[in-house]
Amino acid sequence: MTRLIHHTPVYEDNDGKGNFPLSYHLEMISDYERVSLFKQGIDQSVTKDTVFCELGCGTGIFSIYAASKAKKVYAVEHDSKIFEIAKKNISASGLKDKIQLIRGDCLEVELPEKVDVLFSEMLSIWMIEEPQILVMNHAVNQLLKPGAVTIPSKIINLAELCHTDFTFDGIRLPTSIAQFTGIKAPRIMSESRVCNRFSLNKENPAEVRSFAEFQLLTSGVVNSVRLSSIVTISENVHFYATDTLMPLTIVPLIEEVRLKEAERIFLQADYKHRGSLENAIFKLKRRK
């Protein structure tokens, strides 16, 4: 199994409920940077009076942590294998009385009460592969008390224009690729630009078309973009990228373009939230 497949949920019936292999859950909970930053977000938002909900609780690691501080925790998970593991972890935590574990679909779950803090980590690069935005939309419409806090709270998507050598040993294979440690880096040809921003405490569109203008730092053929995201977990707590979560990702352009140093050009991106990088379209458009 490649690392990329390992990190990508399997959608058996295209219903938005992706499952991960258990080994990826183990990788996620042992990613110190990911876990400690999300715990900091919980520390900043949860008090003894907080009603907290985690959508997609996986092993239960964050629901259990939140329960050590909150009044009540709702933890929702649909995947039967990891649900059973969460159940055991919650029993072993000594916080079972505070946590209501619900087997259900986060895109339509109903809770017995509205919540003060809504937590969900279904993040993927640019929110393309996983249902983060759709799940947060459901939460915003159905689950939050007025003024509730969402974790994460904001996401900024960035891109750089680049040239990637998609040829290996004479074999050409242009495809999207996560920049896990050890993967060959592209040649960066522009500064990083903000392509779009999402506040997760309000509803966001399921489909996106974004434009951003770039100026070339070097002459040459631009054939790809390198995507990254800055996730604001809570005030002053930001996550960028690890091998486990949202590694910088190269995506080939629909068409390569030869450009000169200092030339300006627009990047148009068309994609669906909970779509796929393969179906996302990235293309360059010259200024008129």
Ligand X SMILES: C[S@@+](CC[C@H](N)C(=O)[O-])C[C@H]1O[C@@H](n2cnc3c(N)ncnc32)[C@H](O)[C@@H]1O
Residues with a catalytic annotation lie at 121, 130
The set of residues, in sequence order, having a beta carbon less than 8 Å from that of 251 and lying 6+ positions away, is 176, 224, 225, 227, 277, 280, 282
Q: Among 8, 20, 72, 214, which residue sits at the site for ligand X (rule: CB under 6 A)?
A: 20
Examine residue 62 and tell whether it contacts ligand X (CB under 6 A): yes
Q: Among 22, 29, 230, 257, which residue sits at the site for ligand X (rule: CB under 6 A)?
A: 29
Query: In this structure, are residues 215 and 261 in contact, taking their beta carbons and an 8 Å threshold?
Result: no
Q: Give whole-number Cα distances, 284 to 65, 141, 159, 224, in Å.
A: 45, 36, 12, 10
* Residue whose Cβ sits closest to ligand X: 56
Examine residue 99 and tell whether it contacts ligand X (CB under 6 A): no
CB of 90 to ligand X, least distance (A): 13
Residue 42 or residue 248: which is nearer to ligand X going by CB? 42
Enter the tokens of residue 84.
């059973």
CB of 181 to ligand X, least distance (A): 20
From the list 113, 97, 94, the residue with the least C-alpha distance to 53 is 113
Examine residue 74 and tell whether it contacts ligand X (CB under 6 A): no
The set of residues, in sequence order, having a beta carbon less than 8 Å from that of 207 and lying 6+ positions away, is 270, 271, 272, 273
Q: Among 122, 159, 225, 265, which residue sits at the site for ligand X (rule: CB under 6 A)?
A: 122
Q: Among 131, 152, 186, 252, which residue sits at the site for ligand X (rule: CB under 6 A)?
A: 131
SS3 state of residue 196: strand
SS3 state of residue 89: helix
Examine residue 56 and tell whether it contacts ligand X (CB under 6 A): yes
Q: Among 57, 115, 140, 284, which residue sits at the site for ligand X (rule: CB under 6 A)?
A: 57
Residue 29 or residue 183: which is nearer to ligand X going by CB? 29
CB of 284 to ligand X, least distance (A): 32
Residue 155 CB neighbours (<10 A) = 23
SS3 state of residue 120: coil
Residues that bind ligand X in the complex, under the rule CB under 6 A = 16-20, 28-29, 56-59, 61-62, 76-79, 82, 105-107, 121-122, 131
